[in-house]
Chain A
Amino acid sequence: MRVFCLELKRILKTRLTWILLLASFAMTLLMAWLPTTFVEVDGRKGLAAVRRLKEIQADTAGEVTPEQLEAALIAYQQCLKEYGAETVYDLPEDVRTRRILPVTGVLHGVNEVYADPDTGIGPGLPNIDPAGLDDYYSDCRARLMSLMRMEQKEHPAAQAEAMRLYEKVETPYHFYPGFNTDALDYQILLGFVLTLFAAVIAAPVFSSDYQTGADDIQRCMRHGRLTLGAAKAGAALLVCGVTFSACMALFILITDSLFGWETAGTSVQMLYSATMLADMTVLKIQWFTAGASLLSLLATVALIVFLSARIRTTVAALAAALFCCVLPVFVYFAAPGSVGLWLRSLIPSSGAAGVQTSMLYTMLDYDFLNVGSLAVWLPEAMVIAAALELPLFAAAAVRSYVRHRLK
């Protein structure tokens, strides 16, 4: 424990660590605030726009019942009819704000749910029969089924697994106006930046000692092998993990305070796909994304520390570390299909790196790992893999350090 504390103290005394820690907190504050600046409503911007949006959509806040949906759709179609408009863009701006904007939030997803089962193309809100919304949540299930038949045509197990997951989703959905999904995008962007910072902190853990020759001395000391190896790996994990957790917590606190804590009760299906498989509200997905990204980050740091124990120069270790961080992005574009999915599930940084490969965007998707009659939803596979890889890579790092010898 004494060696661990001294190692922790050593890392925290490093100027680079301090710079990165300060940069992390500065980025957190900036990225938590930025999404509020993107909101524009009724000629207002920023937090004023958020408040105005809440006022306009106040009547739709709460449970999203089929009756409410029906009434909203009727109001929507009535407005278009009155003005002889085919789309909302044909309406005068003030009419749009007064009569369409109040119902657009709650009508999110309706077009998607009634999409053509064969083509997946939505009919458009003016063409949907409001009376047909009576059984909206059954229609959601039916839509998911048809979607899964298209997406996982050859994998009935995946189709069944998707339906099983969706059965757990709480209905009716909840909607509280004012939240902006840009905040979630910025959360994963922040996670990626913090992962890069963690890589810079973790990369030199062992390799710099090899490079400077400090390792030659320490290795000859009583606790200079297993104890020091474990202390170094543990301290790197702790510093990176605590920083990430603190920044994520701060980000969520600031974001939800700015947009309003009640907005965090909105079901994710009211912001993204109406058939999204995760049974979560905004607040839950914020914390889940943070937690899963933390796990992914720790597994990534463990991998980087392992590489650091194998590589003899700091520059090479840093290059390898940064490559690990961006690898999921390459895989996402370069290896489509099941191979890409397997790689993404196995690469520890998948949950924390990039945007499209992030945990949040993976949860928005319907990707499954199929092994015979078994199907595992990709976000679950990524979390399980990271949980296994974290101790595995950490142990491998310590072992590599202990067994390291000059050649």
Chain B
Amino acid sequence: MELQIDHISKSFKDKRAVDSVSMTLTPGVWGLLGANGAGKTTLMRMIAGIMQPDEGQIRYDGLPIGTLKGRYREIFGYLPQEFGFYPEFTVKDYLEYAAALKGLPVRDTKRRVMELLEMLSLSDVYRKKIVRLSGGMKRRVGIAQALLNEPELLIMDEPTSGLDPGERVRFRNLLSEFAKDRIVLISTHIVSDVEYIATRNAVMKDGRLIAEGTTEELVKLVDGKVWQCVIPAERLPEYERRLRIVNLRNEADGRVSIRYLSENAETAENLRMTDADPEGRAGSMPAVVMPSDKPATPRLEDLYLWLFPQDAAHDAQDAAGAPRKLGNGRRSEAGTEREQPQRTKAAAPEAGLRGEAGTAAAVRTRGQADSDRGSDSAFDTEKGGRNA
């Protein structure tokens, strides 16, 4: 059982949303990571057969999905980013309707619906109209419909958005169990959702697949680029301007423990903090010698933030109004959410990735020659319309 994606491309007007992506999905959970506008949704829509690629082909077990038609849809489950439903439907109505469309026999429908309701903690609301459910519950109804036919190939676009932490953990466990002998591809911004359950991950940027591998293989790409140290709390704003801080924690003694991304241990060796203004003019404040930095064990989230600094900056801007977004590893470990810094100019992440790609033999990195293209336009494109 395998899904071959063979040099798939898709353009919208002058924007190349997916650019010659090739990969072969095998059984297991696949995490698809990428910033907004990276092309994840477009790729998933093409795999779902609801969008036609401009170039390339998608084959399931060697056969183009276009020729398989109903047979492909029979083994397919899909949850799009936006879960559309009929407002007049109750959970039960909707799942029965979906079961009929999926071709489940009537005698199996009730059993399967009840199973999923139980599994997704929806039993109490199955007679309620979907429109009256909370965002998380609606999302779970969406997940339930995708699982109804026990698909061999399950594609889920941001399945955990709107789920609370407990629901996310349950969902991850459910998916891990479900993915045995099945192909499951999930895209997410919430890296922790795939970090522990993904058999393999694929990373997209600007329409290209730039890396693919297991979590362990991928995090090696940022090995030696994640640091932590403790600094005086009053100096934090200055460090925030200069470093890409991914996490900070208030310590009891008025100091702050920070975790940051950098090619080197910048605070101790290269970065002698002064009161220099942003243009670099020296000030009158005496230089501060930093405490020694310690290398930290990298996580998938670090890789994500290394690859998508722009996304990190956007998330930081969102943080004040939408604390949930801080789940991207920048939540204070002491439980205090703090306003996060803008992107530092110090880092050039993909240069580092390019330089070290060879260090992890099993990891494939692609399209890096183009990866320095700005991602602002991509961000805007995805925000601009659901078709992007």
Contact = CB atoms under 8 A, between A and B. Distances in A.
A217 B149 CA distance: 13
Contacts of B98: 217-218, 221
B97 A10 contact: yes
A222 B73 CA distance: 5
A217 B102 contact: no
B289 interface: no
Contacts, number: 95
Interface stretch (B22-30, B76-84, B224-232, B271-279): B76-84
A213 B97 CA distance: 16
Nearest to A12: B88
A216 interface: yes
Interface string A220-237: 111111011000000000
Given A224-B101, A406-B387, A215 B106 contact: no
Contacts of A213: 80, 82-84, 386
B113 to A, nearest CB: 13
A214 interface: yes
A332 B102 CA distance: 48
A223 B82 CA distance: 21
Nearest to A407: B387
The dominant DSSP class at the B interface is mixed
Interface string A132-144: 0000000000000
B52 A217 contact: no
B84 A221 contact: no
Question: Size class of B's contact patch?
Answer: 35 or more
Interface string A379-407: 00000000000000000000000000111
A228 B51 CA distance: 18
A40 to B, nearest CB: 48
Nearest to A223: B101
A212 B86 CA distance: 8
B103 interface: yes
A95 interface: no
A214 B102 CA distance: 14
Contacts of B101: 3, 218, 221-224, 227-228
Interface stretch (B42-50, B251-259, B336-344): B42-50
A162 B258 CA distance: 95
8 smallest CB-CB distances across A and B, nearest first, come from: A213-B84, A214-B84, A212-B84, A221-B101, A220-B78, A222-B103, A213-B82, A216-B80
A279 interface: no
Contact of B49 (A6, A215, A220): A220
A217 B106 contact: no
Contacts of B311: none
Contacts of B96: 6
A362 B48 CA distance: 51
